[in-house]
Structure 1
Amino acid sequence: MTGRSLRFGVVAPITSDMSRWRDELQGLADSGYSTILMPDVPQWQPAPGPALAVAATITDLRVGTWVYASPVRPAWITAWEAHSLSVLTEGRFEMGIGTGRPGIAGQLRELGLPVTPVGQRSSQVRDVVTALRDLDGPDLHTPVVMAVGGPKAEALAAELADTVTFVMPQIETRAATMQRVERFDDRRGVELALHVPVVGDSVAAFMAGPDTDPAAVRAADSLAFLPSDPSAAAEEIQRRREEIGFSYFVFGADAAGALAPVVAELAGR
């Protein structure tokens, strides 16, 4: 279905001491992963911008946000940080952005920030991307990865994104996800990314809720699941590219080691 080469990213938040995190990132680079990703969850770990700037000095991999929550951040400041990361990493930064996790209204209240109505949140994302393009100018193009759910977000991504990842229930069936992708207006041929929080019996931190049941996700034939067996995972990844068009797969750091043989085999193919 797609001629895009496969690539693989890892959500690698700083959840332990810095020396262990540095070793973890170096291991990812040695395994063939393409991108180190950082979540945007205030008060849980260091802010994504500084963390990614440090990560970019540890390896020569690409770095990116997975993803900025637009309601938490003023548009121009977000764009400035993204543009700055592009400059400082010499083009290795990818700006992932979306309208925030479920329940973000409660987070905004805790932070003393205005609660943006749901219908206006896609406009916030547009404002960030518009400001980023102005800052980049004609000589730099910071790739934009959009996490999209509803029709407004999908339409915006169809217009502006370089990569799209679909926000979907973790027990959404394969058939339902295929329909979601088929409905997406991909006239520009953007890269399609798949967020995979469950690998075997493991649920990735920062990628899924603590009440996620791996057995239920697997039983639903959900694309949020991959088997931990490398041979089976490699077969399934190739199937998802051929049948649906996904070419960029994002895992959690806890599963990165188990899937390293898959990445070594498939990256760039």
Structure 2
Amino acid sequence: MADRLFRFGIVAGRVKDAGRWTALARRAEDLGYATFLAPDTLGTLPPLLALSAAAAATTSIGLGTFVLAAPYRRPEQLAWEVSGMGFLSGGRFELGLGVGRPAAGEDAARLGVPFGTPDQRIRQLEEALRHARKWAGAEPAPRVLIAASGARMLGFAARNADTVALGLPATTTEDGLAEPVRLIKLASDDFDRLELSAGLHVVGNEMPPWLAQQIGGDLPADSIAVLDGTPRQMADRLLRRRDAHQISYITVNAMYADKLASVVELLAGT
């Protein structure tokens, strides 16, 4: 990944019916997005089932979990299902893993599984990765994305992932990217091979109500979660971010798929 070519991914978790789900996956593919991604929450579609349907409806787009919470599944079960997804997608599956977002403990309780301490969850993540790679056998193991925010998880991701997804608050500014990237560099024995990812929450100048409620106010003018302006202006901002912080994989909620498409056309694969 020394060249760090731009990739763009769509995150989608809930639609009104199955037809719209597969249509959305095809739309993402047609618009030039590299990946179609499903979150792991009880308020959205079961990710591996949903991605299986998307795989059957598409031909070239990558399909990924964004991200599976390690405590929810036994490592052996996860490896079995990941292997199946690799087969059903024709090798297009990308495995996104993490130790659980802030509200994941509530979902774990509903699923009847222990959420565990941070140490226990990191060990579960290690086991999940080991089994997934072992299960692949002679077949290529899927590309692995690990979501991370704190220093310990950033270090773990730097040593074990192909892609590190920075799980930073929406209030993070451009300058705020420097420290997590520095920690990744320190922990990695081959930083050039890593792909770094950061997500967008808003494309344009209208903040969705759920985000406004979540942050309880306005975002900084240079928030990394917001991208606004002409397509060229937005593309130039992402180019500057890549130059400064090596971030080349951009993810965005499906509601902004069309708004970001002109930027995808300018930058994808460059």
Question: Do Structure 1 and Structure 2 share a fold, with TM-score over 0.5?
Answer: yes
The Cα of 1:22 is off from its aligned counterpart by 2.6
The Cα of 1:227 is off from its aligned counterpart by 1.3
Equivalent residues in 2 for 1:1-269 (5 A)? 3-42=3-42, 44-60=43-59, 61-184=61-184, 185-188=187-190, 189=192, 190-202=194-206, 211-213=213-215, 216-219=218-221, 221-227=222-228, 229-269=230-270
Q: Could you tell me which amino acid in structure 2 is paired with residue 175 of structure 1?
A: D
CA contact (8 A) 2:144 2:163 kept: yes
Distance between the aligned counterparts of 1:186 and 1:225, measured in 2? 29
Structure 1 unmatched runs, 5+: none
CA contact (8 A) 2:203 2:228 kept: yes
TM-score under structure 2 normalisation? 0.90
Q: Deviations over 1:154-210 (max 9, x none)?
A: 2221221111011112212221222211221333221111121222245579xx757
Name the SS for the 2:165 alignment partner.
strand
Distance between the aligned counterparts of 2:85 and 2:166, measured in 1? 25
Pair 82,217 (structure 1): closer, same or farther in 2 beyond 3 Å = farther
Identical residues among aligned pairs (%): 33
Q: RMSD over aligned Cα, in angstroms?
A: 2.2
TM-score under structure 1 normalisation? 0.90
Structure 2 unmatched runs, 5+: none
Distance between the aligned counterparts of 1:97 and 1:210, measured in 2? 27
The Cα of 1:232 is off from its aligned counterpart by 2.0
Q: Any runs of at least 4 consecutive aligned residues in structure 1 with deviations exceeding 6 A, and if so which? A: none
Deviates most, 257-266 or 154-163:
154-163
Q: Deviations over 1:120-176 (max 9, x none)?
A: 211111100000111012431211100012233222212211110111122122212
Q: How many corresponding residue pairs? A: 265
Pair 113,204 (structure 1): closer, same or farther in 2 beyond 3 Å = farther
Distance between the aligned counterparts of 1:196 and 1:254, measured in 2? 11
